């Protein structure tokens, strides 16, 4: 039943994201059909633009679904508006850990599915993969790196109201993006680079470091989320 509740709560966000992804998917065909793009722009650059847009969409998907996944458990939105039913949820004989597990879990599944489909579509647009394994490899790293952003967003959603959680998550991603430009260490482990086909093309060696760093971040952020929720006073 908690899964059903989480789905009912998040379904419109999911539908909105599917719509947004469809817009991104259809954009290349629309651009080609209408000749909006100057004919002098090479196809590679067009694809890179779409790839960049997709990475941004991975991040947005993670942040948006994390917000809906756990935000009704935050302190500020617990008693009013759409998320004003937290006291009712807390009155149920369910542990906070399980509540977090279900709600964050559903958002993680939704994000993973959308990111995997988007990642696959990137390869469909510019099929540089030579084997199914390569496609799987990219989907896996796109999902795991995006899940690091998702886990961070879950943690932020446990301490901040929804709007602030989104701002804070975007701010963190921007900070990581800027730091990875300056510091090689961060660049090597950054999930933002790990999820990109521009930073690591399929022809390059598999970037295990950002994937491993992402898995560590997921464990740390979700663990911290559980601790925060269990100690929170409502």
Q: Which is nearer to another protein, 4 or 178 (CB)?
A: 4
CA distance 207 to 199: 10
Residue among 15, 22, 30, 79 that touches another protein (CB under 8 A): 79
CA torsion through residues 84, 62, 172, 102, sign? positive
Angle at 123 between CA 119 and CA 127, to 5 degrees: 175
The stretch among 3-11, 140-148, 160-168, 183-191 that binds another protein (CB under 8 A) is 3-11
Annotate 46-94 with three-state secondary structure.
HHHHHHHHHHHHHHHHHHHHHHHHHHHHCCCCCCCHHHCCHHHHHCCCC
Q: Which is nearer to another protein, 5 or 232 (CB)?
A: 5
Show contacts with another protein in window 146-205 (CB under 8 A). none
- Establish if 233 lies at the interface with another protein (CB under 8 A): no
Specify the DSSP element, H or E, that contains 1: none
The stretch among 58-66, 92-100, 145-153, 163-171 that binds another protein (CB under 8 A) is 92-100
Q: Which is nearer to another protein, 90 or 163 (CB)?
A: 90
CA distance 180 to 193: 9
CB of 79 to another protein, least distance (A): 7
Q: Which stretches of the chain bind another protein, using CB under 8 A?
A: 1, 4-5, 8-9, 79, 82, 84-88, 92-94
């Amino acid at each position: 039943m908690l899964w059903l509740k989480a789905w009912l709560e998040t379904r419109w966000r999911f539908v909105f994201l599917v719509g947004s992804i469809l817009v991104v998917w259809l954009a290349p065909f629309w651009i080609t059909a209408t000749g909006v793009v100057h004919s002098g722009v090479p196809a590679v650059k067009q694809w890179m633009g779409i790839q960049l847009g997709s990475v941004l969409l991975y991040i947005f998907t993670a942040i948006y679904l994390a917000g809906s996944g756990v935000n009704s458990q935050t302190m500020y939105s617990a008693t009013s508006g759409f998320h004003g039913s937290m006291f009712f949820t807390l009155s149920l004989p369910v542990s906070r850990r399980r509540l977090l597990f279900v709600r964050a879990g559903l958002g993680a599944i939704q994000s993973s599915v959308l990111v995997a489909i988007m990642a696959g579509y990137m390869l469909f647009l510019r099929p540089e993969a030579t084997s199914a394994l390569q496609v799987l490899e990219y989907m896996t790293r796109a999902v795991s790196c995006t899940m690091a952003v998702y886990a961070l967003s879950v943690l932020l959603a446990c301490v901040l109201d929804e709007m602030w959680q989104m701002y804070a998550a975007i701010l963190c991603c921007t900070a990581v993006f800027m730091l990875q430009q300056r510091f090689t260490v961060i660049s090597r482990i950054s999930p933002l680079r790990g999820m990109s086909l521009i930073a690591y093309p399929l022809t390059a060696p598999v970037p295990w470091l950002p994937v491993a760093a992402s898995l560590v971040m997921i464990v740390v952020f979700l663990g911290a989320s559980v601790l925060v929720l269990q100690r929170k006073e409502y």
